[in-house]
Structure 1
Amino acid sequence: MGSEPIICVESLVKEFRRTKQQSGRFSAIRTLLTRERTVSRAVDGISFGIPEGELVGYLGPNGAGKSTTIKILTGILMPTSGTVHVAGIVPWRERKRNAAQIGVVFGQRTQLWWDLPLSDSLELVGRLYEIPPPRFRFNLKLFTELLELGPFLSTPVRQLSLGQRMRGDLAAAMLHSPRILFLDEPTIGLDVVAKERIRSFIYELNKEQGTTVILTTHDLDDVERLCQRVLLITDGSVLFEGDVESLKNMHTRERDLIIRLPPGSESIELANFASARIVDESGDLTRVRFNPQSLPITELVSFLLSKYAIVDFSVKEPELEEVVRNIYAARSL
Structure 2
Amino acid sequence: MKFELQTKDAKSKARTGVLHTDHGPIHTPIFMPVGTAGTVKAVHQRELKEDIEADIILGNTYHLYLRPGLELLENAGGLHKFNGWNGPILTDSGGYQVYSLAENRKIEEKGVTFQSHIDGSRHVFTPEAAMDIQRSIGADIIMAFDECTPYPCEYDYAKNSLAMTHRWLKRCCERFDSTEGRYGYEQTLFPIVQGSVYQDLRKESAEFIASCERDGNAIGGLAVGEPAEMMYEMTELVCDILPADKPRYLMGVGTPANILESIALGVDMFDCVMPTRNARNGMLFTTQGIINIRNEKWKNDLSPIDEELGGYVSTYHSKAYLRHLVHAKEILGAQIASIHNLTFYLWLVRQARTHIEAGDFASWKNIMVDKLMQRL
TM-score (normalizing by structure 2): 0.34
Q: Return the structure number with greater strand share.
A: 1
TM-score (normalizing by structure 1): 0.37
Q: Return the structure number with greater helix share.
A: 2
